[in-house]
Amino acid sequence: MIEAARWLLKHRLLAIWRPPTWIHVLALPDFLRCVAAAIEGTSIAGIYNLGDDRPLTLQEFVDTVAIHWGVPKPWRCPKWAFYAAGWCCEAFATVFGTACPLTRDFIKIGMASYVSDTSRMKRELLS
């Protein structure tokens, strides 16, 4: 998804909604350390919430990577525009009997914020 976002940003094709969407990202090296600790740990059990020290908004994240890559920031569009795009994709897929790459349900899921308590991860996996 990151490489797709880079390509879309580079070609001025990525848009993002205006209201903030809170996310919890995790750097790949930290994720790999967590996986290794979970595999090698003797008392590791259950579900761990993995994430960075603090949540940030999806909008902040995409703007930051755009600056890092030296490409334009994404367009900011109203929420209704994304639901309209989903509806258009669904209608096209229904009429022509094709798969639908973008649905209104997918947009709703994408707009949902997700933040979790990562203290257990830090205490037991990355100590």
Q: At what angle do helices 2-10 and 58-69 cross, to 10 degrees?
A: 60
Percent of the chain clearing pLDDT 90 (strictly above)? 76
Band (2; pLDDT cuts 50, 70, 90): confident
This prediction has a pTM of: 0.80
pLDDT in tens, 13-45: 999 999 999 999 988 999 999 999 999 988 888
Domain ranges of the chain: 2-78+113-124
Q: How far apart are CA 40 and CA 126, in angstroms?
A: 12
* pLDDT for residue 21: 96
How many CB atoms lie under 10 A from the CB of residue 97? 6
Q: How far apart are CA 2 and CA 82, in angstroms?
A: 19
Percent of the chain clearing pLDDT 70 (strictly above)? 100
Q: How far apart are CA 86 and CA 106, in angstroms?
A: 8
